Structure 1
Amino acid sequence: MTTPISIISFDSISSLGSNENSIWSAYLDDKHRISTKTINEETTFVAHLSEENNALIEEIKNSDNKYKNLDKTVLFAIFSARNAVKKAGWKSNDNFGINFGSSRGATHLFEKYHEEFLNKGVSSTLSSPTTTLGNISSWVAHDLQTEGPEISHSITCSTALHSLLNGIAWINSGMSDKFLVGGSEAPLTDFTIAQMQALKVYSKETEGYPCKAFDLNKTKNTMVLGEGAAAVCLEKGITKNAIAKIEGIGYATEILKHNTSVTTDAECFQKSMKMATQNVNLEEIDAIVMHAPGTIKGDLSEVNAIKKVFCNKTPFLTTNKWKLGHTFGASGLLSFELALLMLQHQQAIQVPFAATQEQPKKLRKILVNAVGFGGNAVSILVSK
């Protein structure tokens, strides 16, 4: 990273809510925001939007005839992008760049159109353009009426933080001064959840918290899927209206032994964290927002990697998936949002069932981790 990058605004929608105050309030209690839904004729844990927030998404869907055929993934992205850009005070003629990513993309529509094809032998006219991954950023750009570069991509569960990396890269290249980055996911569908159940990672808890992310003593996998989107506005340099700044970036990929595997000590995380923190004293890092998906191996390998990098001076550790589920491609920026909120409010969020940790006296620098299938790790160091 050669050019300082300012974070001007952020916004999200998830089971925690859709405005900064309600989201922070949700983090301050020990209650999860996971409920149940009938999937494939079984009662399954999911973290979905509230009725109130679903109504906000419906408003967008019904505001334009062209939007009525869009997938939830696109509508979530439009919602968070609109609000982030409004907070930043950006105008359409600023021609800022856009990079919205998603792990699965238009899952709801894809499953709907595929079922239609299996039943009727034909496909609907709009089945292709509305299910391509690139239509997320394209529709966000259309909605915001900006003519800057637009990118969509999927790098599984580290997608949103890769969006952040892309925005930083464009700004550092001198090709753009402003970039809107985001991740969006609407994975609460029959087939997507069946896929996670087939991997035997999905939660079947019968008591307590459905997702036990960062419980290092659990004997069962407890991943729960959630839906949502998050967006962040980035600007070149350190600006007066910055709420935080990017201080370091790191990324790495593991050589895999299995399609979903991560090594015992998460070598990819070790490399990405070392890269992100190479220009600071490790003792200056006050907290880490972990990826921690709620699986036995996933949680433990990340903690092992942290211990390898930080030795005996491990920062305060936290995660949010026990509360809002794993939102796949959006999860990295929802973790990033938690880091920004903790910096703003100077309070670290304790995972209620994890070992009690001493609150940092001051939160100055926070590291955020994300990793996806394929061993694609990203670490971002953010500071006040």
Structure 2
Amino acid sequence: MKRVVITGLGALTPIGNTVNEFWDSAIKGKTGATRITKFDPTQFKTTFASEVKNFNPENYLDRNEIKRSDPFTQYALYSVTEAFGDSGLNMESLSPFDIGVIWGSGQGGMQTFEDEVKNYTTGGMNPRFNPFFIPKMLVNMASGMIAMKFGLMGINYTAVSACASSNSAIMDAFNYIRLNKAKVMVTGGSEAPITEASIGGFGSMKALSNRNDDPQHASRPFDVDRDGFVMGEGAGALILEEYEHAKKRGAKIYAEIVGAAMTDDAYHISATHPEGIGAIKAMQLAMEEAKLNPGQINYLNAHATSTPVGDISEMKAVAKTFNNEYKNLKISATKSMTGHLMGAAGAVEAILAIKSIQYNIIPPTINTVNIDPQIPQSLPIVAGDALDSKINVAMSNTFGFGGHNGTVIFRRL
């Protein structure tokens, strides 16, 4: 099996429009939650979200790219451009068939779908759809347009596993390189879910926080007063590369991917298993593949969305998986700052896990004041401020509707 390393990163998030901005905001405990500006939220139960800020696609993409793409694809193209620049790859030195794309998204072109249906129903005597409606809406279009923009002719598809989508994508990209079916893979995820249908739909499920009078403190993972998650948007991109190829060209290497696993709860369409059985197995399998034991994991970026049920089940799973081996472990939930980026969550959280290895700093969990008594109190949760701590191995969890559980492990090289 080939070894796989990360040589490039790119990010567009509610708390930073580059990786450096994102990392700086995260370790400072900044939040991206504000009142929604993309539409008038007055009639909705939840009126706030974590929007991307100061992003104008016209500054980064050409007219045709914008015309033919939904915001989730625009976010993807932007973050991948940064990641390629960061990687220092000389594209001309590789066959276009040696580079593939596996992207993640849960909803795809939701904004396009909403806009086109509204336009059709209000079109009077001659309603019609835009000819770009279907291509813009398709969930796989981000991976397709990344390939077109950069001339990548290798493996190409999109992984869809709800909020575990980008961890699924990272895992698949990792495996294709390990199996020697690609030298370089572009992976990550993007989501643009701050739309009327998404906010209304998740609100009707009572999944979103209703802390409209104090949105900056609404995402509060593990806290006894949490009342749901904050919707977020954006993208995260990673350039994965076969180790010997990266070493030969003298690439900057952030970390190595050493383990990844997926399971399913087979329990409920939206709720996690109350005892976290599937999550336990995903973490165990990832560590087994990485040839690591629980005592060797230094940082866990938890899925922890700030929902009443989900946070408890994940922390129960962590407690059982680590069997009280917390001497070297620290846990934080960075959705407290970014909100929940849905299908892009795993990608942006993987970036934070990787940067934590680079700088030996654990981003904090903000807004957590009183940990829910149903959560094992011995768990080493980093709340309040970032923590300086030696990190050689970082684990990142993502879980999605449908019972999907995804765990990825990164190690200092």
Identify the TM-score tier after normalising by the shorter chain.
Answer: over 0.9
**Residues 298-313 of structure 1: pairs in structure 2 closer than 5 A:** 298-313=310-325
1:332 equivalent in alignment to 2:342:
no
SS at match of 2:178: helix
Cα deviation, 1:224-278, whole Å, max 9, x if unaligned, reads: 111100110111125433110011112111112x311211121111010001112
- What is the number of residues matched between the two proteins? 377
Match of 1:106 among 103, 106, 109: 109
Match of 1:227 among 233, 237, 240: 233
Cα deviation for residue 209 of structure 1 reads 4.2
Consecutive unaligned residues of structure 1, counting only runs of 5 or more, are none
SS at match of 2:200: helix
In the alignment, what sits opposite 1:270? 280
SS at match of 1:181: strand
Percentage of pairs with the same residue: 22
1:192 equivalent in alignment to 2:198:
yes
Cα deviation for residue 21 of structure 1 reads 2.5
SS at match of 2:187: strand
Q: TM-score, normalised by structure 1?
A: 0.93
Q: Would you say the 8 A contact 1:272–1:377 is kept in 2?
A: yes
* Alignment partners' CA distance in 2, 1:301 and 1:216: 14
In the alignment, what sits opposite 2:171? 165
Cα deviation, 1:89-137, whole Å, max 9, x if unaligned, reads: 2244432101112100011111101112222343222211221122111
Q: Would you say the 8 A contact 2:337–2:366 is kept in 1?
A: no
SS at match of 2:134: coil
Cα deviation for residue 360 of structure 1 reads 6.7
Match of 2:407 among 358, 379, 382: 379
* Alignment partners' CA distance in 1, 2:275 and 2:129: 46
Bigger shift: residues 116-125 or 283-292: 116-125
Q: Would you say the 8 A contact 1:71–1:130 is kept in 2?
A: yes
**Residues 250-289 of structure 1: pairs in structure 2 closer than 5 A:** 250-256=261-267, 258-278=268-288, 279-289=291-301
Cα deviation for residue 383 of structure 1 reads 1.1
2:190 is matched by which residue type in structure 1? S
2:81 is matched by which residue type in structure 1? R
Q: Would you say the 8 A contact 1:39–1:189 is kept in 2?
A: no
SS at match of 1:83: helix
In the alignment, what sits opposite 2:222? 215
**Residues 3-152 of structure 1: pairs in structure 2 closer than 5 A:** 3-37=2-36, 38-39=40-41, 41-42=43-44, 44-51=47-54, 54-55=55-56, 57-61=57-61, 63-93=62-92, 94=94, 95=96, 96-120=99-123, 121-152=127-158
1:270 is matched by which residue type in structure 2? I
Closer/same/farther in 2, CA of residues 199 and 242 from structure 1, 3 Å limit:
same
1:181 equivalent in alignment to 2:180:
no
Cα deviation for residue 40 of structure 1 reads 5.8
1:248 equivalent in alignment to 2:286:
no
SS at match of 2:189: strand
* Alignment partners' CA distance in 2, 1:40 and 1:208: 14
2:52 is matched by which residue type in structure 1? L
1:352 is matched by which residue type in structure 2? I
In the alignment, what sits opposite 1:351? 365
Cα deviation, 1:11-46, whole Å, max 9, x if unaligned, reads: 110111122332222112233121011326346111
Closer/same/farther in 2, CA of residues 361 and 124 from structure 1, 3 Å limit:
closer
* Alignment partners' CA distance in 2, 1:110 and 1:171: 35
Closer/same/farther in 2, CA of residues 312 and 153 from structure 1, 3 Å limit:
closer
Deviating 4+ runs (over 6 angstroms): none
Closer/same/farther in 2, CA of residues 208 and 19 from structure 1, 3 Å limit:
closer
SS at match of 1:156: coil
Q: Would you say the 8 A contact 2:70–2:111 is kept in 1?
A: yes
Q: Would you say the 8 A contact 2:336–2:366 is kept in 1?
A: no
Cα deviation for residue 172 of structure 1 reads 2.1
Q: RMSD of aligned C-alpha atoms?
A: 1.9
Closer/same/farther in 2, CA of residues 18 and 31 from structure 1, 3 Å limit:
closer
Cα deviation, 1:139-165, whole Å, max 9, x if unaligned, reads: 111111222221123110000011111
Consecutive unaligned residues of structure 2, counting only runs of 5 or more, are 372-379
Q: TM-score, normalised by structure 2?
A: 0.87
* Alignment partners' CA distance in 2, 1:357 and 1:105: 33
Cα deviation for residue 321 of structure 1 reads 0.8
Q: Would you say the 8 A contact 2:32–2:337 is kept in 1?
A: yes
Q: Would you say the 8 A contact 2:15–2:30 is kept in 1?
A: no
In the alignment, what sits opposite 1:363? 391
1:77 is matched by which residue type in structure 2? A
2:340 is matched by which residue type in structure 1? H
SS at match of 1:301: helix
Closer/same/farther in 2, CA of residues 213 and 378 from structure 1, 3 Å limit:
farther
* Alignment partners' CA distance in 2, 1:175 and 1:79: 26
* Alignment partners' CA distance in 1, 2:390 and 2:72: 37
